[in-house]
A = this chain, B = another copy of it.
Amino acid sequence: MGASSRVELITIGDELLLGFTIDTNAAFLARELASIGAEIVRRATVGDTTAAIVDAVREALDRTGAVVTTGGLGPTSDDLTKQAIAELFGRTLHLDDETYARLAARWRSRGLPEPIPSPNRQQAMVPEGARLLPNNQGSAPGVWLEDARGRWVAMLPGVPREMRAMTTDALVPMLRERWTSAGAGDSLPVVRSRTLRTTGIAEATLAELLGDLAAGVDGMPLAYLPNQDGTDLRLTVRGVSAAEADRRLQAGIARLRFVAAKWAYGEDAADLAAVVIDRCRERGLHIAVGESCTGGMLGSRLTAIPGSSAVFLGGVIAYDDAVKTSELDVPVADITEFGAVSETVALQMADGARGCTGAEIGVGITGIAGPGGGTPEKPVGTVWIAVTGVGDPIAYRTVFLGDRAEIRYRATQSALDMVRRRV
């Protein structure tokens, strides 16, 4: 059973079970383990009771012999994971000197009064025969317990930051080695995926454009993931070695990128604002904004990127029409004639932003985010976006779908993409 890569995940905690906390740990673990060849068979969540933990872990061990748990390693009375699983394995707990010394050092460094109270000392109690997984982000180490038949449980903390670091630094290398030495090795079939991010093109149009590749590339299925940034294209490969998976994914993404070049701005977790900042920095260009319906969101997205000060100078939030005039030099007559949501005003706002900052590139956004304010000619969602100062001035009108938050965000995404295409 030692060589099996079938794994079950059990997340432990009343907060999770009652829905007060969304379980993000299970998804992270599933992705990480699948990427090194684990087959995730089932996930479960149980509350903070010994019986529930023991039952769930026993059943999972019977099915797969391999279980990862999160939660229940802390110092409070409802942290029962170690005791419950030690009991299931017929092990007793003892104080681990090294863990205790580390706990004491942490305790002192935080200036807390000694001796360490008994509940906290609990974190240094370890089942006999356990292997410990170091916790670089907190005080409770992870615990690996294995029986004579090679059935194992890895217990990780529930705090996401601690759990993630421990998974990456300790659990994944351990499992990789275990599966390698069990003969499965680097040929262990994995599940991996890569994502190409596109924006400014509808899902159906994208599928049409992709033609032969619309359903998949080279045997790898293609998933369309529409979201507020655009439509992500996710290729997934399963059942081949890690090296082969990476090779196929790279080739597959390259083919998608070739066809969708105009709309593709990055891969995986790429952020369009970061892409724009990078390109402008390379070209020595600066950006300024004049924002109405987005109210500062475009500036906020650009300045979310570390180092954006080399590119982004600032701008004006011209929510009130009088501010459009006083700060961005939009003539009152034009607002009266064309309306605040118009091509003319968007272009003037972009130029006004350049004027008051000295930036080469100006972006103007003016629209109707709703829920009120729409008219038959300019329904809610109507947004004019202008980019000036790099190439010919351009302005596009879009009617974005969605609620107020979606319309505003999509307007910033569209503005960023207009800049991206021109730099």
Contacts and interface: CB of A to CB of B under 8 A. Distances in A.
Interface of A: 16-24, 26-31, 34, 40-47, 52, 56, 59, 191, 193, 234, 289, 291, 293-300, 302-304, 306-309, 312-320, 322-323, 326-327, 356-358, 369-372, 404-405, 408
A139 B22 CA distance: 27
A30 B18 contact: yes
A317 B295 contact: no
A192 to B, nearest CB: 11
B24 A40 contact: no
A195 to B, nearest CB: 10
A392 B192 CA distance: 59
Given A59-B59, A295-B302, A304-B404, 10 more contacts: A17-B40, A18-B34, A19-B29, A19-B31, A23-B23, A23-B26, A42-B46, A295-B312, A317-B317, A322-B358
25 contacts: A17-B40, A19-B28, A19-B29, A19-B31, A20-B31, A22-B24, A40-B47, A42-B52, A43-B46, A44-B44, A295-B300, A295-B303, A295-B312, A295-B314, A296-B298, A297-B299, A297-B300, A299-B317, A304-B404, A309-B320, A312-B320, A314-B316, A314-B323, A323-B357, A326-B356
A19 B34 contact: yes
A296 B306 contact: no
Contact of A356 (B294, B323, B372): B323
A25 B294 CA distance: 30
A315 B408 CA distance: 18
Contacts of A323: 313-315, 356-357
Contact of A318 (B304, B314, B371): B314
